[in-house]
Amino acid sequence: MEELTIALTKGRLADKTMELFTKAGFSCEEMKEYTRRLIFHNKEQNLNFFLSKGPDVPTYVERGAADIGIVGSDIIMEEKRRAYEVLDLVFGRCRMCVAGPESAREKLRHHEMIRVASKYPNIARDYFYHEKHQTVDIIKLNGSVELGPVVGLSDVIVDIVETGSTLRANGLDVKTIPSMETVCDISARMIVNQVSMQMKQERIRQLIFAVRKALEKE
């Protein structure tokens, strides 16, 4: 049985992934124990799992350190790494949205030059340039993006929205301004290293098939 190494995004995504994998017949008892370890093994099934920050998962997969990765589609779109996206795992759903204060309405409507703050500069740039055909100044931020319009750094933001409560608390809106749209829907995806898909094709296809069957039963 060929060895497979799977990179998981730390946190809730890893927990949901292992729930799904267990239903599909690929468990890892070591991961159920409280530990600070990052690497886990299932010797019976010849599987290795390791935990990583989301933005690093596509890098591990592209470079061959992992055969398979589980990561949000936002990270896949932003990082633009070479890997096969093979399965939508459905969980981890949210939206990438444009949001801003009421004062941004006219600038967006008339396609004026605007400043856009985001943790996802590539996604923001692609959306405004290719979808909206609007010239923008992209400002990369690493956290608390909603502060951008509040402190005058940007006119709008592009960020992930789950409930919208943080945005509303800071005077931003994704509903009342028509031009402030959903950029894309986000969910957890399975990606596969391109070489691994060729060299370990049967083993990987069996895993994909089993996970897909488990998803269908939910």
Taking phi over 0 as left and psi of -120 to 50 as alpha, with beta for the rest, 54 belongs to alpha
Read off the pLDDT of each residue in 167-194 and give the average, rounded to a whole number: 75
Read off the pLDDT of each residue in 192-208 and give the average, rounded to a whole number: 97
Average pLDDT along the chain: 89
Q: Residue 54 is encoded by which pair of tokens?
A: 């989301």
- pLDDT-derived band of residue 177, with 50, 70 and 90 as boundaries? very low
Q: What is the pLDDT of residue 62?
A: 97
Q: pLDDT, tens digit, for every residue of 62-86?
A: 999 999 999 999 999 999 999 999 9
Q: What is the pLDDT of residue 179?
A: 42
Q: What is the pLDDT of residue 165?
A: 64
Q: Which residue has the higher pLDDT, 16 or 144?
A: 16
CATH tag, 94-185: 3.40.190.10
d(CA 99, CA 124): 12
Q: What is the pLDDT of residue 123?
A: 96
CATH topology of domain 4-93+187-217: D-Maltodextrin-Binding Protein; domain 2 (3.40.190)
Q: The whole model's pTM is what?
A: 0.86
Read off the pLDDT of each residue in 154-171 and give the average, rounded to a whole number: 75
- pLDDT-derived band of residue 7, with 50, 70 and 90 as boundaries? very high
Proportion of the chain above pLDDT 70, given as a percent: 89
Q: Which residue has the higher pLDDT, 181 or 120?
A: 120
Residue 7: name the closest of 49, 42, 62, 37 by CA.
49
Q: Residue 14 is encoded by which pair of tokens?
A: 């890893």
d(CA 183, CA 167): 16
Q: What is the DSSP string of 180-196?
A: --EEEEE-EEEEE-HHH
Is 7 within 8 Å of 52 (Cβ atoms)? yes
Residue 126: name the closest of 154, 96, 99 by CA.
96
Is a pLDDT exceeding 50 seen at residue 178?
no
Read off the pLDDT of each residue in 94-107 and give the average, rounded to a whole number: 86
Would you say the CATH fold of 94-185 matches that of 4-93+187-217?
yes
Round to the nearest angstrom and report the end-to-end CA distance of the chain: 28
Q: Which residue has the higher pLDDT, 53 or 110?
A: 53
**Domains of the chain: which residue ranges?**
4-93+187-217, 94-185
Q: What is the pLDDT of residue 204?
A: 97
Read off the pLDDT of each residue in 147-167 and give the average, rounded to a whole number: 82
Spatial neighbors of 133 by CB under 8 A, at least 6 apart, are: 111
